[in-house]
Amino acid sequence: MTSRYRATEPSPGTRRATEQPPAVRAAAPSRRTVVKAAAGAAGTALVAAPLLAAPPVGAAEAAPAFLHGVASGDPLPDGILLWTRVTPVPEAIPGSGAGPDTPVEWTVARDRAFTDVVAKGTVTASAAADHTVKADVRGLAPATDYYFRFSAGGTDSPVGRTRTAPAADAAVPGLRFGVVSCANWEAGHFSAYRHLAARGDLDAWLHLGDYIYEYGTGQYGTRGTVVRPHAPAHEITGLADYRVRHGRYKTDPDLQALHAAAPVVAIWDDHEFANDAWSGGAENHTEGGEGAWTARQAAAKQAYFEWMPVRPALAGTTYRRLRFGRLADLSLLDLRSYRSQQVTAGSGAVDDPDRTLTGRAQLDWLKAGLSASDTTWRLVGNPVMISPFAIGALSAELLAPLAELLGLPREGLALNPDQWDGYTDDRRELLAHLRAGAIRNTVFLTGDIHMAWANDVPVHAGTYPLSASAATEFVVTSVTSDNLDDAVKAPEGSISAVAAPLIRAANRHVHWVDTDRHGYGVLDITAERAQMDYYVISDRTDPAATSAWARSYRTRSGTQRVERAYDPV
């Protein structure tokens, strides 16, 4: 249930610190030569939560209780969306439909001690919304840190920290976003979230899709070892299933810590529904045997909007746009709800103008927004890679697992039909629009494929770099989901050493690719450049995994080209 209240006594904007706190400086080691990535396919506000084993989903020793943490999202200059779930009685576990309607108070303050309260209100948690609640708070000051909490029946939730966006016309010196994607619960622990939460310097964090996975226990890549089992144990197909799975994820202490540390801006990809989802079905959906796709898709969307602090601009979709002063706007894409079914690469159908990845309305919306933008940077939250990818001369033993991770046919044709490569007419139209309109400083921020990439986005890949680049793309690796070395069960880093040079030789617009490690990105933006710092974690199966800087790449304003940067920011 969502409510909107205006704040009382909005505060003046507070000045943002310009240097990183000591914890951040300590976490960024001196220049490293190791390659990064990791991919294939609660807490308090500024410190990580203790590394405790996640409790059983929804288990409550006392009621009411806030077992799933707190979160905020979709920051506006004057507002923020707050989220929590209350467990009013022990039997009101996620997906149960049990438990009474429960009033939940929310409070927003300028300080952690809540001596300077600026807004408060009440919402009702009910079984109809799985006892999740949202409060769309308005009337706040721009570019300002706030603290928030919920209360029910005399019990207070953990305290969260959030931050509003800068005023639309503000001259913003810099922005910093965490960037993550692809978190398979069974494959490991979410240490990447813990390290992002501990930074304390994020304006927001972006989740680019695959926040949850739909598979049953042991059915999806874990390098052969289930580190911690899903709930429910079976593949999720109905509303109760999706609610239980979201609930399981939000018992993770590292995820709770990150949600409590900064606002999230989230979009979905396929695994929030089922693998390789399209508008009329999915590769991992059996019509009839697993119910009707329309019912499964509706259930997945309902659970997502219940459990995520997302404010949809249009009902049933995650495509929307946020603005961060005059420095950047962020267009967020939904590339599952409207797409045509994937086709076999090499069939020629990938070029069919009647097939679409975005849908006509969304592509027109994106083009219009990019044209109208008056910000320095035009960021695009992009669930699947837009840069073209050719296999090149990979060996047979690498080609098969790489094909599986990227959705390629095993015969090795140079296309990925689940990504923009499978919908070339949409990509051609969008890149032509960028070139014809002289639209500069467009940066695609991408997840999905469990590898880290830094790419130019060429208009004609076959003649690049003699031909033009229309944009740049930073792809982040997975939080835990299997990457290439996991798929072949090879020592970490060994596959990237072989595969990366071959990938780059066949794709001259690719400046860097790391196929073998897990981690996250930090996007730092100024008027002069947009820089992605890539971080890797030491061991996804270790709940105390450490984090290390791996590489940094940037694009300078006006260039549409990526270059190496040699220090994190």
Q: Residue 23 falls within a domain, yes or no?
A: no
User: Which residue has better confidence, 51 or 7?
Assistant: 7
384 located within any domain: yes
Burial degree of 2 (CB within 10 A; 0-12, 13-18, 19+): middle
H/E segment holding residue 111: none
Give CA–CA dist 527/355, Å, rounded.
37
Average pLDDT, the chain: 87
Determine the pLDDT at residue 32.
27
What pLDDT digit, counting tens, does each position of 388-420 carry? 988 765 665 666 666 666 555 443 344 578 999
Q: How far is CA 40 from the centre of its chain?
A: 16
Element holding 299 (H helix, E strand): helix 293-307
Do 36 and 550 touch, CB atoms closer than 8 A? yes
Residue 19: its pLDDT value, please? 31
d(C-alpha 29, C-alpha 216), whole Å: 38
* pLDDT(343) > 60: yes
Tokens at 2, concatenated: 């969502």
Residues 548-555: what's their mean pLDDT? Answer: 98
Q: What is the mean pLDDT of residues 488-511?
A: 86
Percent pLDDT > 90 in the chain is 75
Nearest to 204 by CA among 183, 181, 176: 176
| DSSP per-residue letters across 147-162 | EEEEEETTEEPPPEEE
Q: What is the mean pLDDT of residues 377-398?
A: 84
pLDDT tens digit sequence for 24-51: 333 333 222 222 222 332 333 322 333 3
Q: Does residue 357 carry a pLDDT above 90?
A: yes
Task: Name residue, tokens 């004057």.
Answer: 78
For residue 52, what pLDDT band results from cuts at 50, 70 and 90?
very low
Give residue 392's pLDDT: 66
| pLDDT grade for 484, boundaries at 50, 70 and 90 | confident
Lowest mean pLDDT among 196-205, 420-429, 460-469: 460-469
Q: Which of 533, 541, 513 is nearest to 456 (CA)?
A: 513
Question: 72 lies in a domain?
Answer: yes
For range 507-530, the mean pLDDT: 96
Q: Report yes or no on 17 lying in a domain.
A: no
Residue ranges of E strands in 169-229: 175-180, 204-207
pLDDT band at 439 (very low <50, low <70, confident <90, very high): very high
Beta bridge partners of 419: none
Q: What is the pLDDT of residue 117?
A: 98
Provide the CATH number for the domain around residue 445: 3.60.21.70
Q: Which residue has the higher pLDDT, 32 or 107?
A: 107
Percent of the residues in the chain that have a pLDDT greater than 70, as a whole number: 84
- Please state, in angstroms and rounded to a whole number, the distance separating the CA atoms of residues 57 and 67: 9
Per-residue pLDDT at 407 = 57
Token output for 429: 């139209």
Query: Across residues 366-389, what is the average pLDDT?
Result: 97
Task: Kindly state the average pLDDT of the residues 497-526.
Answer: 93
Say which amino acid occupies 344.
T
Helix then strand then coil, % of the chain, to nearest 5: 20, 25, 55
In the predicted structure, residue 192 carries a pLDDT above the cut 70: yes
Inside any domain, residue 158: yes
Residue 185: which domain range?
42-565
Query: Could you tell me which residues are beta bridge partners of residue 85?
Result: 132
Residue 13 pLDDT > 80: no
Q: Name the nearest CA neighbour of 182 among 212, 216, 222, 205.
A: 212
Cα separation of 59 and 52, whole Å?
Answer: 15
Cα→Cα distances 109→7, 8, 505, 522, Å: 10, 10, 54, 27
Among 6-15, 149-158, 263-272, whose mean pLDDT is lowest? 6-15
Phi, psi torsion values for 132, nearest 5 degrees: -90, 150
User: What pLDDT was estimated at residue 412?
Assistant: 38
Question: What is the number of structural domains in the chain?
Answer: 1
Q: Does residue 198 belong to any structural domain of this protein?
A: yes
> In this predicted model, which residue has the larger pLDDT, 64 or 4?
64
Average confidence (pLDDT) over 96-101? 97
The pLDDT of residue 487? 78
Which pLDDT band, with edges at 50, 70 and 90, does 102 fall under? very high
Question: pLDDT by residue (tens digit) across 194-224?
Answer: 999 999 999 999 999 999 999 999 998 788 8
Report yes or no on 533 lying in a domain. yes
Question: Measuring CA to CA, which residue among 367, 361, 397 is closest to residue 380?
Answer: 367
Confidence band of 449 (pLDDT split at 50, 70, 90): very high
Domain membership of residue 37 (yes or no) is no
For 328, other C-beta atoms within 10 Å of its C-beta total 25
Cis, bond preceding 29 (omega within 30 deg of 0): no
Q: Which residues pair with 332 in a beta bridge?
A: 320, 381
Residue with tokens 């940066």: 443
Q: Tell me the pLDDT band of 464, cut-offs 50, 70 and 90.
A: very high
On the question of pLDDT at 17 being above 70, the answer is no
More confident residue, 462 or 11: 462
Average pLDDT over residues 376-392: 92
